[in-house]
Structure 1
Amino acid sequence: MSLLHRAAGLGLAALIAGTVPALAQQKTLRIAMTAADVPTTTGMPNNGFEGMRFLGYPAFEGLVLWDLSDASRPAGLRPGLAERWEQDPADPKTWIFHLRRGVRFHDGTAFTADAVIWNLDRFFKSDSPQFEPAGSGITRARIPIMAGYRKIDDHTVAISTTRVASYFPYMAVYILMTSPQSWETAGRDWAKVAQLPASGTGPFRLSRFTPRVSAELTKNEGYWDKARVPKLDRVLLLPIPEANSRLAALRSGQVDWIEVPPPDAIPSLRQANFNVVTNSYPHVWPWMFQLGGQNTPFRDVRVRQGLNYCVDRAGLVQLLNGTAEPSIGWLKPSDPNFGRPEHRYGFDPARGKALLAAAGFTPQRPLQFKVMISASGSGQMLPLPMNEFLQQNLKEACGVNVTFEVTEWNTLLTAIRSGPDAPILNGSVAANPSSPSSDPSVAARYFLQAFVPPNGFNWPQWNDPQFEEAFAALENARDEASFGAAYARAHERLVDNPPWLYIVHDLNPRAMSRRVRGFVSAQSWFQDLVTVDLQ
Structure 2
Amino acid sequence: MLIKLSRTFALAAALLSYQPAIAETALRIAMTASDIPTATGMPNNGFEGMRFMGYPIFEGLVLWDLTRTDRLATLRPGLAEKWEQDPADNKTWIFHLRRGVKFHDGTDFNADAVIWNLDRYFNNSSPQFEPPSSAISRARVPIMGSYKKVDGDTVAITTTKPASYFPYMAVYLLFTSPTSFEKAGREWAKVATLPAAGTGPFRITKVVPRQEANLARWDKYWDPSRMAKVDNVVLMPIPEANSRLAALRAGQVDWIEVPPPDGLASLKSAGFTITTGSYPHVWPWFYNIGATNSPFKDVRVRQALNYCIDREGLVSLLNGTAEPSVGWLKASDPDFGSPVNRYKFDAAKGKALLAEAGYTPAKPLSFKALISNSGSGQMLPLPMNEFLQQNLKENCGVNVEVGVIEWQVLLTAARATPDHASLQGAMVLNISSPSSDAGVMARYFAAANFSPNGFNFEQWKDDDFEDALKTISEATDPKAISAAYRKAHERIVDNPPWLFIVHDLNPRAMSPKVKGFVSPQSWFVDLTLVNLQ
TM-score normalized by the length of structure 1: 0.97
- Among 344, 350, 374, the alignment partner of 1:352 is 350
Residues 1:97 and 2:103 are matched in the alignment: no
Q: Does the CA-based 8 Å contact 1:331-1:437 persist in structure 2?
A: yes
Shift of 1:371: 0.7
1:86 and 1:97 in contact (8 A); partners too:
yes
Return the alpha-carbon distance in structure 1 between the equivalents of residues 447 and 362 of structure 2. Answer: 36
Partner of 1:411 in structure 2? 409
Question: Does residue 1:497 correspond to 2:501, yes or no?
Answer: no
Take 1:219 and 1:415, find their aligned partners in 2: how far apart are those partners? 36
Report 1:59-458 matches (<5 A): 59-458=57-456
Counterpart Cα distance in 2 of 1:239 and 1:68? 23
SS at 2:189 equivalent: helix
SS of residue in 1 equivalent to 2:295: coil
Partner-residue secondary structure (3-state), 2:35: coil
Cα offset, 1:453, TM superposition: 1.0
Secondary structure at the aligned position of 1:57 is classed as: coil
Kept after mapping to 1: 8 A contact 2:16/2:247: no
Counterparts of 2:16 and 2:203, CA distance in 1: 21
Q: In the alignment, does 2:49 pair up with 1:45?
A: no
Please tell me whether the aligned partners of residues 41 and 196 of structure 1 are also in contact (alpha carbons under 8 angstroms): no
Question: Matched residue of 2:18: which SS?
Answer: helix
CA distance in 2, matches of 1:366, 1:108: 63
Deviation at 1:459, TM superposition (A): 0.7
Q: What SS does structure 1 have at the residue aligned with 2:297?
A: coil
Contact map agreement 2:62 2:171 (CA 8 A) in 1: yes
Q: Which residue of 2 aligns with 1:532?
A: 530
Does the residue aligned with 2:271 lie in a helix, a strand or coil? Answer: coil
The whole-number CA distance in structure 2 between the counterparts of 1:34 and 1:181 is: 32
> 1:13, CA displacement in angstroms?
3.2
Residue deviations 1:32-74 (CA, integer Å, cap 9, x gap)? 0000000000011000000000000000000000110101111
Which of 465, 480, 483 is matched with 1:482 structurally?
A: 480
Aligned to 2:14: 10
Answer whether contact 2:15 2:238 (CA < 8 A) is retained. Answer: no
Structure 1 residues 394-421: Cα deviation after superposition (integer angstroms, max 9, x where no partner): 1111111111111111111111100111
Are the aligned partners of 1:12 and 1:238 in contact in 2 as well (CA < 8 Å)? no
Distance 1:50 1:293 in 2: 29
Q: Which amino acid aligns with 1:198?
A: A
> Structure 1: how far apart are the matches of 2:145 and 2:31?
35
The answer (yes or no) to whether the contact 2:195–2:206 under 8 Å persists in 1 is no
SS of the counterpart of 1:62?
coil
Matched residue SS, 1:94: strand
Cα displacement string for residues 206-260 of structure 1 (whole angstroms, at most 9, x for unaligned residues): 0111111000000000100000010000000000000000000000000000000
Q: Percent identity at matched positions? A: 66
How far is the alpha carbon of 1:3 from its aligned partner? 9.4
Structure 2 residue identity aligned to 1:397: N
Instruction: State whether residues 185 and 197 of structure 1, in contact with CA within 8 Å, keep that contact through their aligned partners in structure 2.
Output: no
Assess if the C-alpha contact under 8 Å between 1:61 and 1:81 holds in 2.
Answer: yes
Code of the aligned partner of 1:481: K
> Aligned with 2:487: secondary structure?
helix
Are the structure 2 counterparts of residues 118 and 389 from structure 1 closer, same or farther at C-alpha, using a change threshold of 3 Å? same
Q: Is residue 8–residue 212 contact of structure 1 (8 Å, CA) maintained in 2?
A: no
Looking at structure 2, the residues matched to 172 and 529 of structure 1 have their Cα atoms a distance apart, in angstroms, of 21
What CA deviation, in whole Å up to 9, does each residue of 1:419-446 have, x standing for no partner? Answer: 1111111110111010000111111111
Q: Which amino acid aligns with 2:18?
A: A
Q: 1:341 to 1:176 in 2, by over 3 A?
A: same
Structure 1 residue runs of 5 or longer lacking an equivalent are: none
TM-aligned CA deviation for residue 5 of structure 1: 4.1
Secondary structure of the corresponding residue to residue 491 of structure 1 = helix
**Secondary structure in 2 aligned to 1:292?**
coil
Shift of residue 150, structure 1, vs aligned partner: 0.1
Separation in structure 1 between the aligned mates of residue 275 and residue 15 of structure 2, nearest angstrom = 28
Distance 1:12 1:216 in 2: 17
Q: What TM-score do you get using the length of structure 2 for normalisation? A: 0.98
CA–CA distance in structure 1, aligned partners of residues 477 and 211 of structure 2? 48
Letter in 1 for 2:477: D
The residue identity in structure 2 corresponding to 1:210 is V
In 2, Cα distance between equivalents of 1:91 and 1:316:
49
Q: What per-residue deviation string (whole Å, max 9, x for no partner) do you get for residues 368-401 of structure 1?
A: 1111111111110000100000011111111111
CA, structure 1 residues 437+82, in 2 after alignment: closer, same or farther (shift >3 Å)?
same
The alpha carbon displacement at 1:14 in A equals 3.4
Question: How far did residue 15 of structure 1 move?
Answer: 3.8
Equivalent-residue separation in structure 1 for 2:498 and 2:163 (angstroms): 24
Change (3 A) 1:133 1:15: farther
Task: Report the alpha carbon displacement of residue 7 of structure 1 after superposing the two structures with TM.
Answer: 3.9
Q: Deviations over 1:313-340 (max 9, x none)?
A: 0000000000000000000111111111
Work out the number of aligned pairs and report it: 529
Instruction: String of CA shifts for 1:47-102, please: whole Å, max 9, x gaps.
Output: 00000000000000000001101011110100000000001111100000000011
**Contact kept? 1:186, 1:197, Cα under 8 Å:** no
- Structure 1 stretch displaced more, 171-180 or 189-198: 189-198
1:12 Cα deviation from its structure 2 partner: 5.3
Runs of 4+ off more than 3 Å: 1-5, 11-15
- CA distance in 2 between partners of 1:2 and 1:296 (Å): 29
